[in-house]
Amino acid sequence: MIRYVLYVVLLYILLPVNASIDLIAMLIFFIAFREDESAALLFAFFAGLLIDLYYPILFGINMLTYVILVQAVLYLKKYFTESPFIIWAVFTIFYVTRIIVIYVFVSPYLHIPLYVLTIAFSLPVFMVLNRTVYGIWIKT
């Protein structure tokens, strides 16, 4: 139960700085990869709603995008082993898909440095969250 409180607190803390590096996408991916299906989908919906309310561009696009992407991660995570390369590759696909959806429906331009920075820091953030929540750096 305390993990879920930590996730909500992190969501509120990260919401204002999400424009400089997309830490919320990393948090949502971590929860989708680590938690059970209902908690991950509920958190993805809630996080997407808060992002849509905080950055009002096209209401509902973040909710829909995150719920669909988390559902895909939940379906595919059964078929992957948990290694650093696999986690990084799946997050990259997750994030690039989100970028494409947002670019097609909302944004007229791409923020390439932001996207590269987010993908570059995804594995260290995943490992720090893993260490904070579960007490291990990565499963081996």
Q: Is the whole model's pTM more than 0.75, yes or no?
A: yes
CA dist 7 and 139 (Å) reads 20
Q: 140 pLDDT band (50/70/90 cuts)? A: low
pLDDT in tens, 118-131: 999 999 999 999 99
Q: Give me the residue spans of the domains in the chain.
A: 20-134
Local confidence band at 139 (pLDDT 50, 70, 90 cut-offs): low
Whole-number pLDDT of residue 102: 84
What is the Cα–Cα distance from 140 to 4, expressed in whole angstroms? 25
Residue 42, amino acid: L
Mind spelling out the 3-state secondary structure of 44-98?
HHHHHHHHHHHCCCCCCHHHHHHHHHHHHHHHHHHHCCCCHHHHHHHHHHHHHHH
What sign for the dihedral angle of Cα 31, 135, 85, 121?
Answer: positive
pLDDT digits (tens, 9 = 90+) for 80-104: 877 889 999 999 999 999 999 888 8
Residue 59 pLDDT exceeds 70: yes
